Amino acid sequence: MNHKPSLMKILSPAKINLFLQVTGKRPDGYHELFSLMCRVDLCDVIQLEFGGRKIQIETNNSQIPLDETNLAFKAATLFLNSLNKKDGLNIAIKKNIPVAAGLGGGSSNAASVLLGLNRHYNFPINREALMSMGRSIGADVPFFIFQKTAFATGIGDKLEAYSKPLPYCLLLIYPEIRVSTHEVYRNFNLRLTKCKKKLKKTPLKKIGFDASLHLCNDLESITASKYPVINSIKERLLKHGAVGALMSGSGPTVFGLFSDPETAIKAKETFDLDTQVEIYLTKIIDKINFSDC
């Protein structure tokens, strides 16, 4: 008789937006986007322990809610309800990704729970349906279920795999500020977008992403106007050899793209004594193994 394992560990990676253009606003309040999203090797670790009578969350980060407002909790509830299961589940989240930082940590956690539960129950839900389930939790969740670097349109949930190489090392600088995505979009003015012209200058899908041409984020000016440190971090990254620097998502994390690891490491050393920031030397990954994170 085969017994399912009672424990499952899953890596839950962060994401960055190599560009993020806001293309419109929908009647339901969501904004339409055009973005190039990729996962990086900065990962939370999710442990699913099956059994018990209810869904429970535990974590090493006091900023994370432990109730039904937690996206991983929502994901587990939604999945189990879809199968009419009353099974208990303990979700232990070891957070390495900063919270509310523009890196998609909560959405990634939710996607990891959906993927893990789907595996545990022998794949009763196909990927498209799982992505649709994820969409009801958060706009970035389908991307993490898609599990590939992708062009994202719609509210970020319509995905097209991007297969050209992205030969960059990354330095992520998180200035220890929590940013509300909802607040950023609420203050967004569609008439002041800057990315449209930049992204249409070149046939992006044909030539592939080029940091010197395509780095752009329509949300950056909103967050940076409130937190000037974002622009100063960008300037420091460029001064120390980055081929480009940009805020990811709604911020406040800024990433620098470097063409070689040595330059990235030297740039990191210039931030190491700064107690006001967290620094992560990372790389873009397409397939994730435990050895990656």
The residues carrying an active-site annotation are 15, 140
Burial tier of 51 (Cβ tally within 10 Å: 0-12, 13-18, 19+): exposed
Residue 190 has what DSSP assignment? Answer: G
Spell out the residues 6+ positions from residue 275 whose beta carbon is closer than 8 angstroms to its own. none
Report the alpha-carbon angle 139-284-216, nearest 5.
60
H/E run at residue 50: strand 31-50
Task: Say how far apart CA 63 and CA 81 lie, in whole Å.
Answer: 27
* Residue 280 in tokens: 């992560």
What sign does the CA torsion over 169, 32, 141, 183 have? positive
Residues 253 and 223: beta-carbon distance below 8 Å: no
Residues 11 and 41: beta-carbon distance below 8 Å: no
Phi, psi of 196 (to 5 degrees): -55, -50
Pairing of strands 150-153, 158-161: antiparallel
Task: Say how far apart CA 141 and CA 13 lie, in whole Å.
Answer: 12
User: Where are the strands (E) in 51-177, listed by range?
Assistant: 55-59, 89-94, 150-153, 158-161, 169-174
